[in-house]
Each structure stands twice: as C-alpha cells, then as structure tokens.
Amino acid sequence: MIFDSGVGGLSVHKDIAALLPNIDVIYMYDNAGYPYGELEPNVLVERVVKCVDVVNQQYGVDAVVIACNSASTIALPSLRERFSFPIIGVVPALKPANLIAKQGITLLATPGTVSRAYTRELIEQFVDSVPVQLIGTTELVNMAEKKLRGGQLDQQLLRQIVEPIKSHSDVVVLGCTHFPLLEDELSAMLGEQVTFVDSGEAIARRVVEVLKLSDSVVGEGSKKCHTILSSAPEPNSEALERYLSKLNFSAIQHCPLKGA
C-alpha cells in the first residue's frame, strides 16, 4: 500500500513500479483531509491510522509506504505500534545530495518539513561540504495537484518560488513527494546546471528489503493493474483518470472513512 494526502505519492509509485512491476499496489489518498500540512498533529495521526486500517481490512497489505513527509515525521510511531507489517516512511534525500553538490543544496519542501527539528538533524548528520538553503512552500503542492487534473500552472508564482535557488544551489532536494511531479517545470526554469534528487528510488529499494523479495523478481514480470482509492469523491477527474491509466491504475474508487 502507498499512502498520501493527495497525488504526490504517485511519484514514489513510479519508482516502486519500475523496480517491481509485478507486485500488487493499492494507492490510497486522503483527499478529504488534504492538505495535511494544515492539520493538527493528533488529527493527522488519527486520519492516517484510519486510512491504513480501512485498506488493510478490505484488501490485506504486506507493507505500507507513507509517501508523505508530514505524515512520515508525525505518524510513523503510532502506525508501527498499531500494525505488525512494515511501515516505510519518507526522508528528504539529503545524503545523496551531499555526495554530488559542489555549490550548495536547496531543500524544497513543505513549511512543516523545513521547520521541524528532525530536518535540521538530518542536515547536521548528512551534509558536511556545502551550505543548505531551506525553502518551504505549499504552493508547489497545490500546483502538482492541479497539474495532474489538467489545470494551468501559475508560471509567475513558480518563478518567484524558485528564484532564490539560482544563485545558491546546484542540487535541489525535492523534499515533498508532490514535487517530482513538477520536475519538468522546475528544470525548465532553473536550467541544466541544477540537479534534482528525491527519495523515490531509495524507497523502492526499501520495499524490496522489507518484503524479502529475491533478486529474481526485481524488474521482472508483466505490469499489473493497480488499485487507487480516495477518501472523498474525486470531482472532474477526467485528466487525472487519464494520467492514472498510463500508470496502470484502474478507475478511482471512493473509500470513505467512517467517523473521520
């Protein structure tokens, strides 16, 4: 199971499906609670636990990827206490960024992620050679959601957000799973001199480890049709459904959370 508050986790799904094309994937997004960055921590934890519980009861899962940085930093302890199967969180890819950065690193994430002590500790632990700039934005999250639904992006706003990167960094860490969905637009504004890194491939490798899959199944087999669930009905979803179809997802199914 892959979980997010919105469609951002589809960027993680891409890497998991590329590495493991023959496994069954259930993608659940809590659009009734979106955006998670504005929820109180106790409310966020309650919603994430309910979403995982509903999917597990209906389908049964072997592992869960919490493809949301806000949920990963807050809800993992409660999830691991409640469920016995492996729970995989998302960590900004600062360690690989440090290996390739020559000028500087920008961590592009949500305001909640850049303000947490956990993020500062990651920087102190893994970045030792270049300065790190933190940019927190919710606008890019909304842009990614809008893009997959066929909407036009505000190019002026996007340019304002990325402008501080140009004079500071040659590596950008996409610290929200929504942001790789905008990599083409970001790259067009920042140019080829900027390299983007995210945690998708590392998460996919971790899925292989926790499921104890042999090398023989990695990268082998025909692509399966995946299931996608939303906690609220998805209005005007034609563009999103077309995008999902290209990723081998069936039509979006409404999966309400009782009491949430």
Q: 197 has which bridge partners?
A: 173
CB 198 within 8 A of CB 11: yes
Q: Is 176 a residue of the active site?
A: yes
Burial of 3 (0-12, 13-18, 19+ CB in 10 A): buried
Q: Binding site annotation covers 199?
A: no
CB 103 within 8 A of CB 129: no
Return d(Cα 125, Cα 94) in angstroms, integer.
9
Q: Binding site annotation covers 178?
A: yes
Return d(Cα 171, Cα 189) in angstroms, integer.
14
Q: Binding site annotation covers 37?
A: yes
Q: Which residues contact 49 (CB under 8 A, 6 or more apart)?
A: 75, 78, 79, 82
Indicate the helix (H) or strand (E) that contains 29: strand 26-29
Return d(Cα 95, Cα 102) in angstroms, integer.
14
Q: Binding site annotation covers 226?
A: no
Q: Is 255 a residue of the active site?
A: no
Q: Binding site annotation covers 4?
A: yes
CB 179 within 8 A of CB 162: no
Q: Binding site annotation covers 245?
A: no
CA diameter of the chain: 50
DSSP 8-class letter at 256: -
For CA atoms 16, 18, 23, 24, give the dihedral sign: positive
Q: Binding site annotation covers 70?
A: yes
Q: Binding site annotation covers 13?
A: no
List the binding residues for substrate: 4-5, 36-37, 69-70, 177-178
Catalytic residues: 68, 176
List the binding residues: 4-5, 36-37, 69-70, 177-178
